[in-house]
């Protein structure tokens, strides 16, 4: 359980930044080079590379270097961690709202 929480925290930290969310969004359309990705954001390449490293550390992306070109690829399986957490949260809140609706219906009767 502790491993799951640590992994989930890492993914949320990585996605807390709008630049990194933009990278994930862009990589959702397919792999692309770091250079092409960096051109889409108003910052220096060294600053952009910090974002790439954060996304790699969280497991959301991986990079492959061929010659001088480093290509970023989205790890879609890692996004399943978020999907599972959101599904759990959705179930909790749906249960709470269902109980509230039942309670209100009983009070009206």
Q: What is the DSSP string of the chain?
A: -HHHHHHHHHHHHHHTSHHHHHHHHHHTT--EEHHHHHHTSSS-HHHHHHHHHHHHHHTSEEEEEETTEEEEEE-HHHHHHHHHHHHHHHHHHHHHHHHHHHHHHHHH-
For 97, residues 6+ apart whose C-beta sits below 8 A from its C-beta are none
* Domains along the chain with CATH numbers: 2-108 (1.10.10.10)
Res. 2: pLDDT tops 80:
no
Structure tokens at 83: 């999907």
pLDDT, one tens digit per residue, over 42-94 is 999 999 999 999 999 999 999 999 999 999 999 999 998 888 888 877 877 88
CA–CA dist 45, 88 (Å, integer): 38
């Amino acid at each position: 359980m502790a491993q799951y929480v640590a992994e989930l925290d890492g993914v949320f930290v990585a996605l807390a930044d709008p630049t990194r969310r933009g990278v994930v969004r862009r990589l959702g359309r397919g792999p692309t080079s770091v250079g092409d990705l960096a051109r889409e954001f108003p910052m220096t390449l060294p600053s952009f590379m910090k974002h790439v490293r954060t996304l790699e550390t969280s497991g959301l992306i991986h990079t492959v270097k061929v010659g001088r070109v480093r290509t970023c690829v989205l790890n879609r399986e890692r996004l399943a961690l978020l999907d599972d957490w959101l599904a759990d949260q959705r179930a909790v809140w749906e249960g709470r709202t269902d109980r509230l609706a039942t309670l209100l219906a009983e009070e009206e009767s």
